[in-house]
Structure 1
Amino acid sequence: MKRIYLVRHGESEWNLLKKIQGQQDISLTANGIKQANLIGNRLINEKIDKIYSSDLIRAYKTAEIIGNKLNLDVIQMVEFREIHFGIWEGISNEEIEEKHKDNQILWRKEPEKLEIEGAETLKELQKRALSGINKIIDNEENENIDNILIVSHSATLKAIILGLLGINLTNFKNLTINNVSLSIIEIREYNRVLKLFNDTCHIKERQ
């Protein structure tokens, strides 16, 4: 049995400004760095064997902080980047509400149907992200490894969780992934089980 630990990056500068990031390379805030240290502390006793991360700086830096605590290097994979949001990237939520109201409503109600100029669809995102998961699972070097950590982004992690559990993408809108939250999926012989979802107790304990 393998455990896949899924962590979202810490708070970024554009999280704070409520701007759509997509694949723009935005740095962590000071608070995001603190959050990364807190999730790193939580994972110290989890016997993580390998760390994989999106190559975008907000995720990679989060993974690097965790890796420093666990004495592990971080392997970057483009497959775990955030969804490409096309013309929405760099726009605030308020601007989207003003200029793209219909698509904003569609993203909230039926995101799997949304098609934005220059952007990935959720189906394309899921295909990309799951190809990364399969590369890790099928890698002979990981055959005897039990616990794998992946640091990524909100939409990407939701797409991975739904895909691994065989749940339709229409349920994407029903999930929330907070900054530095922890989710765990067990890859068992006959099935896959969600053991933990969007847990942030490591942050709440310090508030």
Structure 2
Amino acid sequence: MAVPLRAIVAERQLGARQLERSVLDEIIARDASAGWSSGDNELAKLYYSQLTEALGRRVKLRQPAVATAIVFFRRFYSERSLLDADPLLIAPTALWAASKVEECPVAAKTILRELSELEQQQPYETAQLIAAEPMLLEALGFALLVPHPHVPLARLCKHAITAAAEGAANEPMSADERESLVHAAHALLTDCYKTDVVLWCPPLALALACLQTAAELLKMPLQGLLPTPSDELQRHAELATGSLYVLFERFTTALSRAADSSADSSAKFRLSLPPLEPDFKRLYLIRHGETDWNLEGRIQGLTDKALNEAGLKQAVALSDALADVPLEHIASSSLTRASTTADVVARHHPSAKRSKEKAFVEMCFGDYEGMLLSEFDDDYKQYLRAWRGGTDKAFPGERGESPNAVARRGLAGLRALGLLGEGPSGGERHVCVVAHGRFNKILIAALQGDITTASDLKQGNTCINVLDLGLDGSCIVRALDVRDHLRELKTTGRS
């Protein structure tokens, strides 16, 4: 007789109180009166969950503490409108509280300092964060113990792999298949914290859902590899699986199509570089794949556009080209087109750290964003003349940027990654940054010491630039605008 899954690990709830329907109706009515829809609410919570995750990485918090902070944040707003308290205050407060609960405390001023770097503003002082903590704790009902699905998932993965090795599966599981299954399941679990599923689904059920979903996506049957779950546990897991598919099915399907198309060619380009010299770190600076606005010739800037199907194919080809590169950290702009490209690159580097950094977003073109390049051409030539002449002219509009402003935040981002001499010593020596065309041009020119040359550079979609950065501040360019990996797609990427 199969042993119930409860024999592997105790099944526990995450501790969130059930949301009363009357409370929910009140929140919806209040939001609607302010012109705030439920869709807006979910997008905002998604953004601040991602912000909390990024903030946790910057202050070097352990993953359980970051996960606890996200649960605190989402529980707070499960019974409150986002209009009741500023999420830009509650998110760092939740992180501060979670760091103490998980016994890895971080100073409030440290969290706020890193928040100001991420958000490019200093919205709150330490005293305000301290004052907000009692409000957060009261909203949580002082129930601060948050069991997470990470340990149950690790045990389920181990059980499935052991059972497969003992012959319980119809076909043996290869080492690559085992690694892919574990990596995919944990990646799904990480993204579960972008939804409220972590508030209502028991940890064991959520772990089971992630493993089952990963196996289904990878077409790796789990029959006979896991003990039989109870009916209640399986019901919870199926509900959680539904939430996972809402999040991931569209992207997974598109990526699968792109991978199948890219795999049609037998001759794949592989990036080949000389060995990295001592006292140097290697930056692989990439531009994102194609979007519909690239195709239309529109200025994107900070406008957040997703990759189109061609862009996904380009990202897969890029990923294959970088497959043999020993990447230790894959960072990207926080904009979707860059972060998706980086996610595809990461599939060949499961052990690499993955982060999204606001410092690497595209230059803000201000009032010109959304215009066709043909409409912008005459004005753009004036900016180019000014920049080449050394005038740091910013684009018009509230957030319009100048080249030096972009260079400053880009270099600050590299320092935060430990890639520049004055940054943290040690750490990763092979770092990939996926960013944007104009941003890349400015950053490369700044690293070479002459920002006025930025406009002379070319940057096609998914192009590869490689720069070796010395601890003494030197910069050796190993590759610029490499697009050989796109030959099989019969495209060179748009500059």
Structure-2-length-normalised TM-score: 0.39
Corresponding pairs, count: 200
Return the match for 1:4 from 283, 292, 305: 283
Structure-2 separation of matches of 1:109 and 1:39: 34
Aligned AA for 2:408?
A: K
Listed one character per residue, the Cα deviations across residues 21-62 of structure 1 (whole Å, up to 9, x for unaligned) are 000001111000000000100111011110000000000000
Decide whether the 8 Å contact of 2:444 with 2:454 is kept in 1.
no
Aligned-pair identity in percent equals 26
CA distance in 2: counterparts of 1:206 and 1:38, whole angstroms: 8
> Hey, what does 1:47 align to over in structure 2?
326
Q: Which aligned pairs between 1:1-207 and structure 2 lie closer than 5 A?
A: 1-71=280-350, 72-97=352-377, 101=378, 103-111=379-387, 113=391, 114-118=393-397, 119-137=400-418, 138-139=423-424, 143-166=426-449, 168-190=450-472, 191-207=474-490
- Check whether the contact 1:109–1:173 (CA below 8 A) recurs between aligned residues: no
Unaligned runs of 5+ in 2: 1-279, 491-495
Deviation at 1:189?
4.4
Tell whether the 8 Å contact from 2:303 to 2:369 is kept in structure 1 after alignment. yes
Taking the aligned partners of 1:188 and 1:110, their CA distance within structure 2 comes to 31
Alpha-carbon distance, 1:94 to partner: 2.5
SS of corresponding position for 1:11: coil
Are the aligned partners of 1:4 and 1:185 in contact in 2 as well (CA < 8 Å)?
yes
Larger radius of gyration: 2
Residues 93 and 44 of structure 1: CA distance in aligned 2, closer, same or farther (over 3 Å): same
Unaligned runs of 5+ in 1: none
Mapped contact 2:445–2:452 kept (Cα < 8 A)? no
Two-structure CA RMSD over aligned residues (Å): 1.6
Q: Distance in 2 between matches of 1:189 and 1:60?
A: 28
Change (3 A) 1:17 1:206: closer
SS in structure 2 opposite 1:70? coil
Higher helix share: 2
CA contact (8 A) 1:47 1:147 kept: yes
Change in Cα spacing, 1:189 to 1:77, as seen in structure 2 (3 Å) is closer
Q: TM-score, normalised by structure 1?
A: 0.91
Give CA deviations for 1:147-176 in whole Å, capped at 9, x if unaligned.
00000001111111112221x221112111
**Secondary structure, counterpart of 2:486 in structure 1:** helix
